Amino acid sequence: MDLNFNKNEDHNKLLVSELKKRLAKVKLGGGQKRIEKHHAKGKMTARERIDYLLDNKANSIEIGAFAGDDMYEEHGGCPSGGVVVKIGYIKGKQCIVVANDATVKAGAWFPITGKKNLRAQELAIENKLPIIYLVDSAGVYLPMQDEIFPDKEHFGRIFRNNAVMSSMGITQIAAVMGSCVAGGAYLPIMSDEALIVDKTGSIFLAGSYLVKAAIGESIDNETLGGATTHSEISGVTDYKAKDDKDALDKIKNIVDKIGDFDKAGFNRTKAVKPKENQDDIYGILPKSRADQYDMYEIIKRLVDNSEFEEYKAGYGQTIITCYARIDGWAVGIVANQRHIVKTKGAKTKPAEMQFGGVIYNDSADKATRFIANCNQKKIPLVFLQDVTGFMVGSKSEHSGIIKDGAKMVNAVSNSVVPKFTVVIGNSYGAGNYAMCGKAYDPRLIFAWPSAELAVMSGKSAAKVLLQIEKASLEKQGEKITKEKEDELYNKIKARYDNQVSPYYAAARLWTDAVIDPLETRTWLSMGIEAANHAPIEKQFNMGVLQV
């Protein structure tokens, strides 16, 4: 191994170490003291409930662990968006589990909480996966009610989705394990089956204080909406559980009886580990996002037996397109090549150099054709992003780069096979779109700690923003010295660099997770398995194209 490999390896392992520290902090939810108070009430935490419910907590993936990260600090923060979402197995069946974290503001809904719940439901709808709700929430966080209550993508959309999923035959089971108040009370009752835990679970549109204020009736919460009331008097709930574990055991027994599902029929054979050492990824991936590396070497460490069949290998070389298998599943891979390659030049001219990570006309054309092929063959698509954007300049413009780029975006947009996106490095500008960014409905999109998501790199953006800032200050009569210019540049770049961080993106659910690169095969395999629950019902059609 060369010195550069070792430096890269040290850098990337430090990034993974930082990731694990951040995850450990997030998993504490509202903190150790609140966890202890939770336990004192005889209740399990959200994560403990999920771990008990799943067959094997290690055989699961967590969606949106960093949702709300460094947001709402003026309100005390909202770790993981106040709700834990995992895809795992219950009695051997793949399910989505959504659990309110009552250690975070009593499980109240912040704006990001609503967005994360909607993402969980979106995954259930797209993949026709059973979804389990473990309810323990004080309802909408009132200081921010205007950002969570009335809009299309707000709190009320949850219940609309409950109804839609029911009509689609997607199993929904809800267990009320704590508070379930006001509009939130509709969620468990709009599920197929509802459980409630005795003494700790409660459901009502208005609690005892509000009832007293509204109609003058004096009544305690347990009599108003406790387990006995709803299991024996109102008939609102279907099962009464003595404690958390009893409720979770009942869910296991219900899931165990669910029939088999119609499959999409994606091709799978026996899984084989990569022949190349996966740990080498840490040394291959460069420390600097501006440095080049060979994406083929990354692909060899992600695919079964390190084997792939490349499509149009000698054409459009800044995008790699190939067929391979990941954990036995057949996939079509579209990857940005970050290694500088030589194009074929005229005999009388030296070969031109192409910039790695840039999408050229020919590479966009190749990717479009490959995506169409995968749709025709019913092969899921995997996008490996490390893209700085489309090539600019007169040569590209005169060759119709906008037209070729539009073709690629069209193919990605209209693709009917499931798409999965891994943000390995740069994810800049229109390159993010063409390589299936969040706006293009990947079934899962996740990032490595090395990822950067933005309109452009921090360095480039800071230079542009600096010129705007300088012009504004000079207009006001201020003289900009070299020292002042450097100070402005560093300040602007620091602010922008924070925004390109993979954690900034994950906090806002632009990605589903930040993961250790060595977990990539697991995420892709579980994602394709989930997608296999939903047969493809549409034909691939790219509509009108400027050819």
pLDDT at position 256: 97
Tens digits of residue pLDDT in 125-151: 999 999 999 999 988 888 898 888 888
pLDDT at position 400: 75
Position 73 pLDDT exceeds 60: yes
Q: What is the mean pLDDT of residues 486-493?
A: 80
Query: Helices 156-168 and 111-127 meet at what angle, rounded to 10?
Result: 10
pLDDT band of residue 1 (cuts 50, 70, 90) is low
Which amino acid would we find at residue 385?
Q
Lowest model confidence (mean pLDDT) among 24-33, 56-65, 486-495: 486-495
Using the Cα atoms of residue 266, residue 443, residue 425 and residue 83 in order, give the sign of their dihedral.
negative
pLDDT at position 491: 81
Q: What is the mean pLDDT of residues 303-324?
A: 97
Highest-pLDDT range among 160-164, 178-182, 299-303, 359-363: 299-303
Locus of tokens 């990001």: 112
pLDDT at position 348: 39
Give me the residues paired with residue 513 across strands. 446
H or E element at residue 133: strand 131-137
Tens digits of residue pLDDT in 16-57: 999 999 999 999 999 999 999 999 999 999 999 999 999 998
Tens digits of residue pLDDT in 167-181: 999 999 999 999 888
CA distance 427 to 511: 12
pLDDT at position 341: 62
Neighbours of 144 (CB within 10 A): 18
Q: What is the mean pLDDT of residues 269-297?
A: 96
pLDDT at position 345: 52
pLDDT band of residue 496 (cuts 50, 70, 90) is confident
Strands 172-181 and 202-204, how do they pair? parallel
Residue partners of 209: CB distance under 8 A and separation at least 6: none
Tens digits of residue pLDDT in 422-454: 999 999 988 999 999 999 999 999 999 999 998
As a whole number, the mean pLDDT across the chain is 91
Q: What is the mean pLDDT of residues 80-84?
A: 97
Position 228 pLDDT exceeds 70: yes
Q: What is the mean pLDDT of residues 58-87?
A: 96
E strand spans, 414-493: 419-428, 444-447, 452-454
Question: Where do runs of H (alpha helix) occur along 83-153?
Answer: 111-127
The C-alpha angle 246, 251, 257, rounded to 5 degrees, equals 130
CA distance 437 to 176: 36
What domains, with CATH codes, occur in the chain? 1-28+264-451+511-539 (3.90.226.10), 31-256 (3.90.226.10), 456-500 (no CATH)
Tens digits of residue pLDDT in 338-352: 887 665 554 433 445
Position 546 pLDDT exceeds 70: no
CA distance 36 to 518: 34
Tens digits of residue pLDDT in 376-396: 999 999 999 999 988 877 887
Work out the percent of the chain whose per-residue pLDDT is above 90. Answer: 71
Position 527 pLDDT exceeds 90: yes
